[in-house]
Amino acid sequence: MRKLKQQLGLILLVLMAPLTMASELVIEITSGVDDPVPVAIVPFDWAGNKALPEDVALVVESDLERSGQFKALQRGAMLSRPRNEETVYYRDWRYLDTEYLVIGQVLATEKGFTVEYQLFDIEGEQIISSGAFTGGRDNLRSLAHSVSDAVYEALTGLRGAFRTRVAYVAADRKVNPSSYQLLVADADGFNPKVILKSKYPIMSPNWSRDANQLAYVSFESQRPAIYLQDLRTGERKRVKSFKGLNGAPAWSPDGKRLALVLSKDGNAEIYVLGLEDGKLQRITNHYGIDTEPSWSVDGKSIIFTSDRGGKPQIYQVELASKWVERLTFEGDYNARGSLTYDGRFLVLVSRHDGRFHIAVQDLQRGTMTKLTRSSLDESPSVAPNGSMVLYATEVNGKDILAAVSIDGQVTYQLPAASGVVREPAWSPYLN
């Protein structure tokens, strides 16, 4: 019993702090690249009788600036507002030192809207990208994010991740919270939706790879239990529970398995549960505490945290052979590891000089780089394109979410309009 309490204590410290209640997240950009690319996003044309529910151009502008790589021209400085290619006067935009120009229009459809856009290279005097996105009446903001994704990919060569979502946990106050919420919002913090409200702690949200379901831990039965919830239907079911600890669920890339931490045999170990057949397979077998599983890109191995070497470090276990390899050696504390979607970088929490930072280890070169300067960072979650890392931290005594680029140059914060927030999870691409 004493050992179980010790395991619970360690894992709760690693996976959970008192969480607190959020409404909409607010973006605050704190730093970007030294020489951002100048772009202009002209207000999109709209011929309807009523005002649009969203300013599409402003959403695109905000998305691109949030990436830290672009600087948008203020609307008041624009010499013209072209509606089509024929009304684009390149000399005007060159005079304003603009390198790229985005124009577009919003069209009404029977069920919603179509958003068309064109991206111009001012120096080359040509269209380099164009397209159209169609959706329902409530999807205009999502269509704007799709434009942002297309423009971002055309200019950087990297797929955009603006039309994604984030899950996070909130509670009404930092100390002794009495109400918890699991929420899902757009990646820019807008449109938060409450998925679960409870008097008991909620932890470790994790997305299925099709972005349709969340796995998470709830203490509503007075002990930790894992639940799966369909975000489309709201259907919720409890995963088979075992005595002791049930925690840290992580969906496999194929969506058919769930990695989790169980202490049913007396020690915290990594297991894999088949979601279709209910078959449970023990993956690790060590007297140390093994926790925080995440999957490799190909689904053939699992990354996890263990203190088997004396202090928390990150290891990888091959599922077929059960061969375990230690991945981190720099520093006396490395935890909460997850891979970027190309498998090259390991994002983690690392302690240096008594401060907990978000760091990234290049698995090809073996080098580790500290990405953040704050001191109580935790729960990193990587964007599906590998460009940004979302994490929880403390600023001025308040628990907030923040993001940092994988190279450490771009940072922004997402404090909640009310309450404090923890345990972020960035979704995969939305289908």
The pLDDT value given to residue 319 = 97
The pLDDT value given to residue 53 = 92
For the four alpha carbons of 191, 196, 197 and 198, in that order, the dihedral sign comes to negative
Q: 174: number of CA atoms within 13 Å, CB side?
A: 11
What distance in Å separates the CA atoms of residue 392 and residue 399, rounded to the nearest whole number?
Answer: 7
Tell me the pairing of strands 100-108 and 37-41.
parallel
The pLDDT value given to residue 416 = 85
Q: pLDDT tens-digit profile of 55-80?
A: 999 999 999 999 999 999 999 999 99
Q: Where in the chain is the domain with CATH 2.120.10.30?
A: 2-29+164-426
Helices 140-156 and 56-66 cross at an angle (nearest 10°) of 40
Q: Where in the chain is the domain with CATH 3.40.50.10070?
A: 35-156
Q: 206: number of CA atoms within 13 Å, CB side?
A: 27
The pLDDT value given to residue 189 = 92
What distance in Å separates the CA atoms of residue 292 and residue 290, rounded to the nearest whole number?
Answer: 7
Class of domain 35-156: alpha beta
The pLDDT value given to residue 375 = 86
> Domain 2-29+164-426 carries which CATH code?
2.120.10.30
The pLDDT value given to residue 12 = 39
The pLDDT value given to residue 398 = 87
Residues of the chain with pLDDT under 70: 1-23
Assess contact for 418 and 21: CB atoms under 8 A: yes
The pLDDT value given to residue 33 = 81
Tell me the pairing of strands 180-186 and 420-426.
unpaired
What distance in Å separates the CA atoms of residue 6 and residue 282, rounded to the nearest whole number?
Answer: 21
The pLDDT value given to residue 6 = 41
The pLDDT value given to residue 351 = 94
Q: pLDDT tens-digit profile of 179-219?
A: 999 999 999 999 999 999 999 999 999 999 999 999 999 99
Assess contact for 196 and 202: CB atoms under 8 A: yes
